[in-house]
């Protein structure tokens, strides 16, 4: 029988995955798979992608250095924003970017929920030991 005990502890690879997700989100408007004429003139879409990517990257970097619960809650909220932003900012018709942002937002939310669940019962002193 397999043991999923490795999911009970917040590991540093989760923080590195968050940093990678942030970099992918920030670079998403320039991926060659999509039609770039669809986002020409949509500076808001580009600004949103870069800002959300940098925030996800920064939060993951903070978790790697000094873990605190507010960072995980913020990661969940930013991921939820990324999921709904194509509909709020009006680029839900751009097929690839909409699907990409919705999918990456869901992964960010799931990663944040996993990390919050792992750290829920830890004391502040235990959280400070993260990564050591």
What's the pLDDT tens digit per position in 90-100? 887 767 888 88
Higher pLDDT, 119 or 27: 27
Least confident of 36-40, 72-76, 88-92: 36-40
Q: What does the block give as tokens for 46?
A: 């580009």
Count of CB atoms within 10 A of residue 94's CB?
19
Domain membership of residue 131 (yes or no) is: no
Instruction: Print the domain residue range for 23.
Output: 11-118
Question: How many domains would you assign to the chain?
Answer: 1
**H-only helix segments in the chain:** 12-27, 43-65, 69-88, 95-119, 124-128
Residue 99 lies in a domain: yes
- Top mean-pLDDT range of 5-14, 30-39, 43-52: 43-52
pTM flag (> 0.85): no
94 domain-assigned: yes
């Amino acid at each position: 029988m397999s043991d999923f005990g490795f999911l009970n502890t917040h590991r540093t690879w989760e923080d590195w995955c968050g940093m990678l997700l942030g970099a992918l989100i920030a670079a998403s408007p320039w991926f060659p798979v999509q039609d770039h004429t669809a986002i020409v003139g949509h500076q808001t879409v580009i600004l949103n992608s870069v800002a959300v990517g940098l925030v996800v990257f920064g939060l993951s970097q903070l978790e790697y250095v000094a873990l605190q619960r507010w960072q995980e809650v913020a990661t969940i909220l930013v991921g939820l924003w990324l999921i709904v932003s194509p509909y709020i900012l009006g680029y839900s018709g751009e097929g690839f970017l909409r699907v990409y942002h919705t999918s990456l937002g869901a992964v960010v939310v799931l990663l944040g929920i996993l990390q919050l669940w792992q750290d829920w019962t830890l004391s502040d002193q235990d959280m400070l030991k993260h990564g050591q």
